[in-house]
């Protein structure tokens, strides 16, 4: 490369994430993708948002892992059947989806057991993947999940939880920061202070960029998750 050409490349402005087409034009992480990304969602299924998310993933030929709450799974069992039918992976985040800090240890362990039982009754087998409902105070829940044979997602790149007025650009920047092998975790459950519409608005551009650069979104497998305090397997990056 000549000196002039090198200087020209250095002076090329870096597109702002909010510009139309910026993600597809400038994405060094995705351009070098040799490992897939792992989209994962927790807290659902939600009858308003999860069907939209499933349709979006199907349009972009992307797969994801859903860590569902047993309470919602029992109520919206048709969504559990649909996500499995469409090739996504199923895990759980307990029965209530409430963090361990909101429960005493005995209740927290029982919450995990009940979540497993609900999914076993719905699918005929116990879920092999577990995601704690919160980052902190979940040791009892993680220990119970492991005792029941599940691999625990103890770290992930958690995306911001958008409120009612959230701009998709915030989520788009977080998605754009992903590197090959990252586990991205977001909520697909709506609530008073959390509405995933911003996620649904941001994901199409991100997934379009991912395919443009030859990347893919794949499901998690139990053997891919690191043991407690151990390094993640090669190619899988989990960051709290």
pTM: 0.80
pLDDT in tens, the chain (240 residues): 444 444 433 333 333 333 334 344 335 454 454 678 899 999 999 999 999 999 999 999 999 999 999 999 999 999 999 999 999 999 999 998 876 556 677 888 999 999 999 999 999 999 999 998 876 657 888 899 999 999 999 768 888 765 555 567 777 788 888 888 889 999 898 776 677 888 898 899 999 988 888 888 999 999 988 544 333 443 444 433
> What are the φ/ψ torsions at residue 187 (nearest 5 degrees)?
-95, 135
Task: Return the HEC string of 85-153.
Answer: HCCCEEEECCCCCCCHHHCCHHHHHHHHHHHHHHHHHHHCCCCCEECCCCCCCCHHHHHHHHHCCCEEC
Count how many domains the chain has: 1
- Please list the residues that pair with 67 across neighbouring strands: 42, 91
Residue 9 inside a domain? The answer is no
Residue 32 lies in a domain: no
Q: What does the alpha-carbon distance between residue 64 and residue 41 come to, in Å, rounded to a whole number?
A: 8
Tens-digit pLDDT profile for residues 169-215: 777 788 888 888 889 999 898 776 677 888 898 899 999 988 888 88
Q: How far is CA 194 from the centre of its chain?
A: 16
Residue 21 belongs to some domain of the structure: no
**Confidence (pLDDT) at 167:** 65
Predicted pLDDT of residue 108: 86
Q: Looking at the domain assignment, is residue 235 inside a domain?
A: no
* Sign of the four-CA dihedral 144, 41, 218, 47: positive
Q: Report the pLDDT value the prediction gives residue 12, as an integer from 0 to 100.
A: 33
Q: Judge whether 14 lies within some domain.
A: no
Taking every pair of Cα atoms in the chain, the longest distance, rounded to a whole number of angstroms, is 68
Does a structural domain hold residue 16? no
CATH code of the domain in which 143 resides: 3.20.20.370
CA distances for 173 relative to 93, 197, 225, angstroms: 26, 16, 25
Give the tokens for residue 184: 């991205």
157 is in which domain, residue-wise?
41-224
In a domain, 34, yes or no: no
């Amino acid at each position: 490369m000549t000196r002039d050409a090198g200087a020209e490349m250095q002076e090329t402005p870096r597109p702002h994430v909010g510009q139309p087409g910026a993600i597809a034009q400038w994405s060094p992480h995705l351009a070098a993708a040799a490992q897939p990304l792992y989209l994962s969602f927790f807290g659902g299924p939600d009858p308003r948002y999860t069907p939209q998310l499933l349709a979006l993933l199907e349009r972009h030929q992307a797969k994801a892992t859903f860590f569902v709450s047993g309470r919602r799974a029992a109520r919206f069992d048709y969504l559990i059947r649909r996500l499995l039918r469409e090739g996504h992976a199923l895990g759980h985040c307990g029965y209530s989806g409430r963090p361990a800090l909101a429960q005493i240890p005995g209740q927290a362990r029982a919450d995990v057991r009940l979540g497993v039982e609900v999914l076993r009754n719905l699918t005929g087998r116990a879920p092999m993947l577990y995601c704690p409902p919160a980052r902190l105070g979940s040791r009892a829940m993680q220990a119970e999940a492991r005792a029941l044979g599940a691999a625990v997602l103890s770290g992930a790149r958690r995306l911001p939880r958008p409120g009612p007025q959230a701009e998709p650009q915030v989520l788009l920047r977080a998605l754009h920061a992903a590197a090959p092998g990252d586990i991205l975790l977001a909520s697909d459950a709506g609530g008073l202070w959390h509405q995933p519409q911003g996620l649904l608005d941001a994901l199409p551009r991100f997934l379009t960029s991912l395919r443009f650069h030859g990347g893919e979104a794949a499901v998690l497998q139990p053997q891919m998750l690191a043991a407690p305090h151990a390094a993640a397997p090669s190619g899988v990056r989990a960051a709290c």
